[in-house]
Structure formats: C-alpha cells, structure tokens
Amino acid sequence: MRSPGPRKAQSVFDATLGLLTELGYDGLTIEGVAARSGVHKTTIYRWWPSKDALLGAALLDANLLELSVPDTGGIDDDLRSLVEQVLRLLTGKATGATVTAILGAATHRPALASLVTEFFAGRLARERIVFERAIARGELREGTDPGMIMDLLAGAIWLRVLARGETPRAGYVRSIVSLVLDGARP
Amino acid sequence: MRSPGPRKAQSVFDATLGLLTELGYDGLTIEGVAARSGVHKTTIYRWWPSKDALLGAALLDANLLELSVPDTGGIDDDLRSLVEQVLRLLTGKATGATVTAILGAATHRPALASLVTEFFAGRLARERIVFERAIARGELREGTDPGMIMDLLAGAIWLRVLARGETPRAGYVRSIVSLVLDGARP
C-alpha cells in the first residue's frame, strides 16, 4: 500500500472518538489526534482536510449508523425493535458518550448539524418499509406518517435520556409503543 | 442600595446570555461577561461564585422557565397549548438559541445537566394538573402517565427541531396530539 492514510486510519479514528468523548467537540483538535494516534498532523490533514471531515469519517467507520430493519410480521414488535435500537445507541457504553457529544456540539456547529440531519434522514428512509408493511397488513391507518411516529418514539427516548437524565426502566419501550399505537383515550 | 450586584444584575445577565448564544458554553467566561457588561470581574464573582451559578441565575431571570398551564376544558386543546409552548421555546428568536446552547453544553457538563434535569422536572410537576383534570373528565385512561405523554410530545418537537433541523409545519402540533390521543391503528 502506498497511502499512509487508510493504513493508519483505524488508530486515527480511535483517537478522534476517544478525544471527542473525553474533551467534547470544542476540545477535539487535529493536533490532539496526531499526538494520541502517533500519526503525523500533515498526514492526517492530507486525508481529512478538516476536523469535521475527520469526525464524519470516524463516525461512519464506527458503525454508529448501523440499523437492523426488523420484519417480525407485526407492527408492535417491529416498533419495539426500532425503539430499542435508539435506546441502545443513546445509552450504550461504546456509543452513548460519542452520540451525546455530537448531538451537544451540533447545536452550535452547522457542519456537524448537517451530519446529524443526514443521519436522521438516512435512518428514516430505511425505516419506511416497516410502516409500508404494517399498512399493507391493515395494522396502521392508510396515510400514517412514519416520520411522525418515529419523532414521537425516538423523541421520547432522547428526551428521557438526554434531558431528564434517566435511563428508561424496563417496560418503558413497550409502554410508549402501545401508547402511540392504541392512544391514551379510554 | 448598598449592593452593586442586584443593581447591575440585569446587564450582567444580558451579557451572559448574549455571549452564550454567540460563543457557546465553552466560549462563555466571567472575563467576557465583565468586559461586555462593564461590571468588574471581582464584583461578578462576589455575587455568583462560578460560571454555572451565574448562568443558572441568568436563565431564571430570563423567564425561560415560564409555563402557562392551560385549562381549556378539554384535553386536546390543553395538550396543544403545552406542546405549542415547547415549540415556541425551542424556535423563538429570543429563546431558541439560548435553549439549544444549553442543551448542547449540558451533554458534557454535569452542573449544567442537573440544571436541565431540574427544569424538566419542575415543568412536569406543573403540567400534572392538566392530566388529573382530563382523567377526572373521563378523557384519558385511569393511570395515564403524564411524564410518558409529555416525553412523546415534547420529544417529537425536540427531535424535529434539534436533530432533523426542521421547523414543524403548521398543523404538526395538532397531528402529534391527535396521534397520541387516538393511536395509529385503523
């Protein structure tokens, strides 16, 4: 291999995500990544021209974007699976700190915000099939908006974990899925 | 008045929130607040011993915590009112930038995170009466969890504004309230 970039990419990515979770986005620098990974600064800049480009590549590599699209044959279990994956993403040892650091920084960094926006759009595009199957089976009303249902369910997890500072108790995922499917009226 | 603190408090608070929205939490310093407000650093430190103490006081003063508890006589309109207030808080000219800066910084600042947690807990405590009235009127199932319904509705607004980077279209609030009340099944 002639290029030093890809060969050393893994240690650069590890250093990037490690420093991000330890220091936050503002504390993350190419210099810091160079020091921790042992890869020279100019080499890093040759492959990733900016901090945001490097961060985007590191996130992609980390499979944070991974989503297993369920097909259990029923909308209740399919939704539970999707929501459990959101919960694991936000609370997992390996992913939780990274995701919260990025969401936090994205609120005042446009480049990072568009990365987050793309992530959510890509995820929703892959989730649509779950809703199409459920509508075809007669389990959801015609015209049900997948984005709205995922806003409610993923938003509830988000708000509880990030704003209320709680890890939802067992059964929480099942309860919010039932509430959105059956409604709160008697 | 003998104390310079309260007398000059307003200009200190204005400088604090202004710098927070312009520079983000990490860029906010007592020195910067002193320079912009014209109040001496040691005076600021005498009244607010830390950046987080100052920020907490400035937020309280800004009435970000304001909540008008609706009592329209019906749960549909009451919930719409509560959710519209979340939307205005997150997208308002005066409040949106402040709130997103704080939520962003809170993900890696424990002192700020507990401020956010308290804010959400206090808000939920004041919202409970809306749900008690609706259960008494027979509009919601006995045992309906107010926190869960507010997680879903406020979480959806949050996720759409902060993560998807969209301002919800007109009618969005009405649609998510109907969905949570009536459910998504046919």
Q: What is the ipTM of this complex?
A: 0.85
Q: How far is CA A178 from CA A149, A171, A173, in A?
A: 12, 11, 9
* A5 within 8 A of A46, measured Cβ to Cβ: yes
> Quick one: average pLDDT of B5-31?
87
Cβ-based neighbours of A82, under 8 Å, separated by 6 or more: A70, A127, A130, A150, A153
Residue among B103, B165, B185 whose CB faces A181 most closely = B185
Closest CA to B99 of B112, B81, B110, B80: B112
pLDDT at B81: 97
Summarised one tens digit per residue, pLDDT across range A107-165 is: 767 778 888 888 888 899 999 999 999 999 999 999 999 999 999 999 999 999 888 88
Quickly name the fold that domain B4-61 has. Answer: Arc Repressor Mutant, subunit A (1.10.10)
**Chain A residues close to B165, C-beta within 8 Å:** 113-114, 116-117
Is the per-residue pLDDT at B112 higher than 90? no
pLDDT at A6: 63
pLDDT at A3: 44
B66 or A185, higher pLDDT: A185
Name the residue ranges covered by the structural domains of chain A: 4-61, 75-182
d(CA A30, CA A34): 6
pLDDT at A143: 92
* B54 within 8 A of B44, measured Cβ to Cβ: yes
Determine which helix (DSSP H) or strand (DSSP E) holds A177, and give its type and residue range.
helix A172-182
The rounded percent of chain B whose pLDDT value lies above 90 is 56
pLDDT at A21: 84
* B112 within 8 A of B105, measured Cβ to Cβ: yes
**Chain A residues close to B151, C-beta within 8 Å:** 155-156, 159-160, 164, 176
What are the structure tokens assigned to A63, written together? Answer: 């499979």
CA dihedral A46, A49, A53, A59 (to 10 degrees): 30
Summarised one tens digit per residue, pLDDT across range B58-90 is: 888 877 767 899 999 999 999 999 999 999 988
Q: Which range has the worst mean pLDDT, A30-39, A176-185, B111-120? A: B111-120
Cβ <8 Å between B164 and A139: no
Q: Does A144 touch chain B (CB under 8 A)?
A: yes
Quickly name the fold that domain A75-182 has. Answer: Tetracycline Repressor; domain 2 (1.10.357)
